[in-house]
Amino acid sequence: MNKILTLFLVIISIIGCKNNNQSVEKTPKLDVEASKKDKNMPAFGIVIHGGAGTIRRKNMSDSLEKAYRLKLEEAISVGHTVLSNGGTALEAVTKTINVLEDSPLFNAGKGAVFTHDETNELDASIMDGATLNAGAVAGVTKIKNPINLALSVMNDSPHVMLYGKGAEEFAKLQGFKWVDTSYFYTKRRFKSIKKAKRKEKKKRRKEKLTFQDFDNFQDPFFNDTKFGTVGCVALDKNGNLAAGTSTGGMTNKRWNRIGDSPVIGAGTYANNKTCAISCTGWGEYFIRGVVAHDISAMMEYKGVTLEDAAKEVIQNKLTKMGGTGGIIAIDKDGNIAMEFNTAGMYRATMNAKGELNIAIFGKDK
């Protein structure tokens, strides 16, 4: 009897251990299924920038840094909501840039810098990666949100770029309301132009510089006058890419100077085969290097990753030319790049899971 009882207990024990082992093995299988579910979720994401330049923590108050971070979060959240609700990349880019254009913190729209004549001249461009259609405006002075007008040029005209008074007349025909030029006045930017002109006059008198010499003059203050742009790139749930850029241009610019921001392929580019890119920096060099398109071309023709292409173009090609600035980009698979060769760049990312990352200074992650 004791032998039978012992044998029975052994059998029960073996069965129990087998069941326990089976239950342990099921857990990773459930994790795998969950992982598969995440992979099947449509990839989408959004990246923004608010300009690159000599941006150092020691030169920024805690309150100002907080203001920048809050505005970057507000802007990218607007675009992310559009994408998460199934909206298009073009819509996300436009609405996101609107938030940045309406803020006096950034050199675009409301916060645009002043020209040498103490006026504001605004540029913007947008591109659809699905169709390679694009729209741009340059030198507008009465349009509150230039990125919206660039979108209208793309959708409602047979052209890609419109300039100045012609662009504003087109805007009126499309129902845009002009704003008084005083809308773009900010005390901070007006103070900057006055300071720039004083330093320019002093420097030219002292060293007898020509305008060309002065343009090439390397000085930390004047270097910063060449930066300041806002931009956004996005990938929507349908796999379409879009990019947009908006700027007030260069402080103290003359002769209706136009930088890279409204130039498709230089400051803005999007192609569903590769990536979407928005640039910020010393525009003349971005135009000469056709920076935005160059990154896309390296991916398409050489098969390199977005990260490697961005690094090669910004850290090698652009830097060797003497250009400074940076780019934000997202590729067709949702991978992102934020490459710059300056001390800092206002930037933020948000992926399909809603994970938000905001950075300003060079070593920020």
* Contact of 347 with 325, CB cutoff 8 Å: no
What is the SS3 string spanning the chain?
CHHHHHHHHHHHHHHHHHHHHHHHHHHHHHHHHHHHHHHHCCCCEEEEEEEEECCCHHHCCHHHHHHHHHHHHHHHHHHHHHHHCCCCHHHHHHHHHHHHHCCCCCCCHHHCCCCCCCCCCEEEEEEECCCCCEEEEEEECCCCCHHHHHHHHHHHCCCCEEEHHHHHHHHHHCCCCCCCHHHHCCHHHHHHHHHHHHHHHHHHHHHCCCHHHHHHCCCHHHHHCCCCCEEEEEECCCCCEEEEEEECCCCCCCCCCCCCCCCECCCEEECCCCEEEEEEECHHHHHHCCHHHHHHHHHHHHCCCHHHHHHHHHHHHHHHHCCCEEEEEEECCCCEEEEECCCEEEEEEEECCCCEEEEEECCCC
Q: Interior CA angle at 333 toward 332 and 337, to 5°?
A: 85
Task: Please name the residue that has the structure tokens 């047979």.
Answer: 158
Taking the mean position of all CA atoms in its chain, how far away is CA 29? 40
Q: Catalytic annotation on 229?
A: yes
- Catalytic annotation, pick one of 94, 115, 225, 229: 229
Could you tell me the CA-to-CA distances from 169 to 145, 178, 180, 184, 245 in Å, in that order? 15, 10, 15, 19, 22
* Contact of 324 with 315, CB cutoff 8 Å: no
Q: Interior CA angle at 187 toward 181 and 190, to 5°?
A: 70
What are the structure tokens assigned to 216, written together?
Answer: 């090439």
Active site residues: 229
